[in-house]
Structure 1
Amino acid sequence: MHRRQTPICRDRKHALPPPQATGESGTRVPSGPPEVKGHRQTLWYWLVPGIRVKRYLLLFATGTALLVVAIDGLLQTPGTSWLLNLRPSIQHVLRRFLPSGAVSAVFGVFCGIAVTVSAGLIVLAATLLARSVLAAITGSVPRESVARTIYRYRMAESLPRVVIIGGGTGIKPVIESLRTENVKLTTIVTMADSGGSTGRLRETTGMLPPGDFRNALIAMAGESTRSARLLAYRFPEQLEGVGGHNIGNLMIAALSDIKGNFGDAVQELSELMQLPGQVLPMSLDNISLRAHFTDGTTIDGEDQVPLQGKTIDTIEVLPPHAKPFVPALEALSQADYILIGPGSLFTSLIPPLSIEATADTIMRSSATKVLVVNAMTERGETEGYTAGMHLHKVEEVLGRSCIDMILLSSTPIPAETLGRYASAGVNPVSNDLPRSQHPRIVEADICSTADGLIRHDPGKLRIVLRSLLGL
C-alpha cells in the first residue's frame, strides 16, 4: 500500500499546507506545525493564541521586573544594567518637587509600595495561571480556591475517609455539612424508593430508583450551584408526559440507557457535575422493601409502608440475597468514620445495612460508627420511638455494640412548633440512653426551627462534626 504524500512546490511560499485532522462534525482541527518536533512542538503549543497562558506569564514577568527594581531601590545597591540604573533618574525627578532632605524618604516609600504591588501582581498571575490550567484540564472553572483544589488532590490519600449511609433526603444536611471539609467523602444511598417520579420511572423503564440518588447528588454539589438547581427542577404536573417528573431523574434514566447500566450512569453524572465526593448506590439489584408489622401482616413497597398506620416489627430487603455495589463495600472497608442517618429508620437507614455483605463489612471495619438519630419521630414508622429504640433496631441488623457514638439533638423547640407537630402525631425523640463509655452519647444543638419546621441544620452540624471527627 502506497502512502499518500503531500505535493511539494519548489517555491516554499507556495507549498501546500499540511493535511489537518477532521472532527466528527466535519470541522478542521488544528494539527500544529508539521516540522516542529519534540520540545520545540511543546513550546509552540504554549504560544498558540487563545490558550489563556501568555497573558498571565506576561503579568508574572511584569511583576517580577517591578519587584527587582523596587528591591534595588530599597537596598541602594549600585546598578549593574540600564534597568537597575533607574534610581538616579527617579530621584532626580523627585528633587524638582521635594526638598532634598525628603527625597530619600519619599523614594523609600515609593519603593515599598512598588514591592507590595509587584508581589501582588506575581501572586495574582500565578493564581490566574493555575486556575486557567486547572480549568483546561478539568473542563470547568474550579469553584474553590486553587490552593484548596491542589490540597484536596495532593492530600486525598491522607485525608480522613468519611462514609455517609442513608436516604437522599434525610442525609442531605450531613452531606452539606461535610462537602467542603478536608475529608474524602463518600455517600452510600438507599435504592428502594418507589414513589412519585421515581416510582413512575421504575414502572415504565424498569430502571433502578433515581430519587434518593438525585437528592444526594444535589447535596454533594451544593444546592446553590447551577447543576444542582437543574437536577432539582420538576416539570409542572399539567404537562403531558413529563408532568411531575424531575429533570435529575430523567437525566439518570437517559444516562442509564446510554451507558447500559445504572452504575456507569451515576458515575458519568458525578463526573459531569465535578463533585467533591462520591455518591454510590447500595446495590445495582432491583431492590424493593417488605414491611412486617407487629400484628402479623406485611406490605410491599417503600412508599406503602408509612401509609399503613401500623407498628413496624422488621423490614425485609427483596430479593433476600441482594448483592452490594462493590465500590460501596470498598469505601466502607477503607473508612475512618461511618455516619448512619438521619433519615427514615425503616425505609432509608436499615435497608442498606440489611444487605448481608454490607453489614459484615461495617461490623469488621475499624472505623468509628456514628448513628445520627432523628430529631423527631415519624408517622407510619417510629411513633413513640426513643433514641434507645432507634439504636436497638440498628443493632439488630449490625450487631450489639457496633455503634460507637450516638449524636442527638438538644436544640430548644418553641412550644408553638411542638404543639403543631404533636397535633400531627409527631414528637421529639427523647434520650433514654444510659450514660456509659460505649456508645458515647453526644447531645448538641444541631437543628433549626426556622419557619416552624424542625430540620437538621448543615451549619450547626458542621461545627459538631468537625469536633467529633477531629477536623
Structure 2
Amino acid sequence: MIKKTGPKIVVIGGGTGLPVILSELHKRNADITAIVTVADDGGSSGIIRDYVNVVPPGDIRNVMVALSDISPQLKDIFQYRFKSEDKFLAGHAIGNLIIAALSEMRGGIDPAIRELSEMLQVEGHVYPASAEPLVLHAKFTDGSSLAGEAEITAAHKNIKEIWVENNPWSENKKPKAVPEALQAIENADEIILGPGSLFTSILPNLMIEDIGRAVLKTKAEVVYICNIMTQKGETIDFTDAEHVRTLDKHLGRNFIDTVLVNTEVVPESYMDFNRYDEVSKQVVHDFKGLRAQGVRVISDNFLLLRDGGAFHNGKKVVDELMNICSNPIEKHD
C-alpha cells in the first residue's frame, strides 16, 4: 500500500452516505481512517450479529469497498446480495459472510479487518468503533424508551436522546473504543461526521465515552456534513441547526467547527418516496441558528439526483473538505 502524505482525515459514521465521501477521498492524497458504527441490528448485519459473536459487518463491508483498489468485478462479487427467494441465504451479502467467517477464524474483528484489508487492497484504515457489537438505546420525548436500532427507527417517535451499551453477556460493563480509532482521532488534521443518519449512524459512535472524549479534545477541525433530507423515525422536521444542536447536546458542549449544508432545492416530483421510504422532506435551513452555535457554515449546491433519490455529490463535498484542510479555523482551548 502506498502511504499517502496528505492530511490525516478521520471519517466517523455509518450507513450508505459514508462510502460516497470515502470513495471520493480515496482519489485524493489523503491519509484516510474510517471509524464505523457497530450498533446496527437490522437486515443481514442484524441476523449475523445474532448468530455469530461478531460486530455487524454491513457498514464495515461498504467502507472497505469504497477504499479498495481491487477490480470492479471483484467488488461486485463481494457486494453481491442473495435474492429473497434464496431461503437460508436470503438478503445476505457475500462480504458480510466473509467478514463474519474471518472474525471467527482469526479470533476477532480486528485481525479479520487487517487481513481482509490486504486481500481487498484497501488504501486507508478501517476500524469498528468498538470491538463488540453494541445495543442502541433511545428515550423519546413522550418519556418512553426502546432498545435496538431497528425498533427505534420503526417506532417513528421523536427521539430525545440516545446512548449505547454492551450486550448483557459482555465481560465489559461499558463500551470501549478500539485503541487505534482513538489514536487516529488524536493525530487527525480533520474529523468528518457524516453524512448519515443522525441518531443511528453518527451519534452511536460518539456515545462511546472515550470516542466522545477524544473528539472533544481534538485539535483537528470537526466538520459535520448535514443530511439533505429529513428521516422518518429520526429527524422529522429537523432544521440543519437542530442537527448540530442535537450533536452538541449529546456531547455536553458545542464541538462542531464547520457545517456543510446543501442549498440546492430537491424537486419533489423527482423523489421516489416508495423506494426511499425512510426519507420525508428536504432539511430546512436555519443559518441564524447555526451561527448562534458558533459554527462556520459552508453552503453550496452539493446535490446529486440519482435513481429517484437525493444524495451528496461526493466530488463537490470532498473539494470543500480538502479546502478546509488547507484553510483550517483557529481552535481555542
- Asked if TM exceeds 0.5, the reply is yes
Match of 1:306 in 2: 153
Counterpart of 2:296 (choices 427, 440, 448) is 440
Is the helix fraction higher in 1 or 2?
Answer: 1
The 2-side partners of 1:419 and 1:193 are apart by 25
Within-5 A mapping of 1:256-295: 256-295=103-142
Deviation at 1:436, TM superposition (A): 4.1
Which residue of the other structure, out of 202, 219, 222, is the alignment partner of 1:366? 219
Q: Does 1:454 align with 2:310?
A: yes
Residue equivalent to 1:394 = 247
Deviations 1:125-145 (A, max 9, x none): xxxxxxxxxxxxx7xxxxxxx
Structure 2 CA distance for aligned equivalents of residues 223 and 195 of structure 1: 28
Quick one: which of 270, 283, 307 aligns to 1:429? Answer: 283
- Distance in 1, matches of 2:134 and 2:307, equals 36
Change (3 A) 1:194 1:398: same
Match of 1:463 in 2: 319
Deviation at 1:183, TM superposition (A): 0.7
1:213 Cα deviation after fit: 0.8
Shift of 1:223: 9.3
Structure 2's unaligned 5+ residue stretches are 167-172, 328-333
Displacement of 1:401 after TM fit? 2.6
Q: Equivalences for 1:2-401 in 2 at 5 Å?
A: 149=2, 153=3, 156=4, 158-221=5-68, 225-319=72-166, 321-401=174-254
- Looking at structure 2, the residues matched to 428 and 232 of structure 1 have their Cα atoms a distance apart, in angstroms, of 30
Q: CA deviation at 1:225?
A: 2.5
Per-residue deviation at 1:203?
1.5
The 3 A distance-change label for structure 1 pair 467 and 224 is farther
Separation in 2 of the partners of 1:246 and 1:197?
7
Q: Of the two, which has the highest radius of gyration?
A: 1
Bigger strand share: 2
| C-alpha deviation, 1:227, in angstroms | 3.5
Distance 2:68 2:262 in 1: 26
% identity of equivalent residues: 35
Q: 1:170: Cα distance to partner?
A: 2.2
Q: Which structure carries more relative contact order (alpha carbon 8 Å, separation 6+)?
A: 2
Counterpart-to-counterpart distance in 1, 2:72 and 2:273:
34
Kindly report the root-mean-square deviation, in angstroms, between the aligned alpha carbons of the 2 structures: 2.3
**Could you tell me whether the CA contact under 8 Å between 2:271 and 2:310 is conserved in 1?**
no
Note the C-alpha offset of 1:219.
1.6
For 1:282 and 1:431, locate their aligned partners in 2 and report how far apart those are by CA, in whole Å.
31
Instruction: Please name the residue that 2:262 is paired with.
Output: 409
Query: 1:425/1:349 Cα in 2 relative to 1: closer, same or farther (>3 Å)?
Result: closer
Aligned residues: 318
Q: Distance in 2 between matches of 1:371 and 1:423?
A: 24
Deviation, 1:222, is 6.6
- TM-score in terms of structure 1 length: 0.64
Q: How much does 1:218 deviate?
A: 1.7
Q: 1:204-238: CA deviations, max 9, x gaps?
A: 22222111111111222279733322221012222
Q: For 1:165-201, what per-residue CA distance to the aligned partner results, in whole angstroms no more than 9, with x for missing partners?
A: 0014221111122011111000000001111111111
Does the 8 A contact of 1:197 with 1:244 survive in 2? Answer: yes
Moved more, 364-373 or 299-308: 299-308
Alpha-carbon distance between aligned partners in 2 of 1:446 and 1:342, rounded to the nearest angstrom: 12
> Structure 2 length normalisation: TM-score?
0.89
Structure 1 residue runs of 5 or longer lacking an equivalent are 1-137, 139-148
Q: Is this contact kept in 2: 1:168–1:213, CA < 8 A?
A: no
Q: 1:412 deviation in Å? A: 3.0
CA distance in 2, matches of 1:335, 1:212: 22
Query: Secondary structure of the equivalent of 2:61?
Result: helix
